[in-house]
Amino acid sequence: MSVEIKVPSVGESITTGTLASWLKSNGQSVHEGEMIFELETDKSLIEVPSPSAGVLEILVEADTEVTIGQTVGRLAPGQGKVAPEAGDVTEP
């Protein structure tokens, strides 16, 4: 069963923001608590953690205005593509 990724509430008076960037790629495996996207409001830039582990499905592209509580992605169970670790070099 997939888990919805929603825009979190970041303050009582804030109702919208901009999904500034995804920190993970579509189809990539993520761990619970790992930062997956950045939310920009008129007051700050916030990194948002993954609510669960799974394979990321992006539903809303970066640089899109979003509302608090809006679903912007999903996490499906299973293993996705693994991002290369910093410093890894792929030999042909």
How far apart (Å, rounded) are the C-alpha atoms in residues 21 and 23? 6
| pLDDT band (50, 70, 90) for residue 81 | low
- pLDDT at residue 1 greater than cutoff 70: yes
Residues 34-76: tens digit of each pLDDT:
999 999 998 899 999 999 999 999 999 999 999 999 999 999 9
pLDDT over 90 for what percent of the chain? Answer: 73
- pLDDT at residue 80 greater than cutoff 60: no
In terms of Cα–Cα distance, which of 79, 19, 25, 68 is closest to 45? 19
How far apart (Å, rounded) are the C-alpha atoms in residues 41 and 15? 9
Give the mean model confidence (pLDDT) for residues 74-88: 66
pLDDT at 43: 84
How high does pLDDT run on average in the chain? 88
Give Cβ neighbours of residue 82 (< 8 Å, ≥ 6 apart): 28, 29
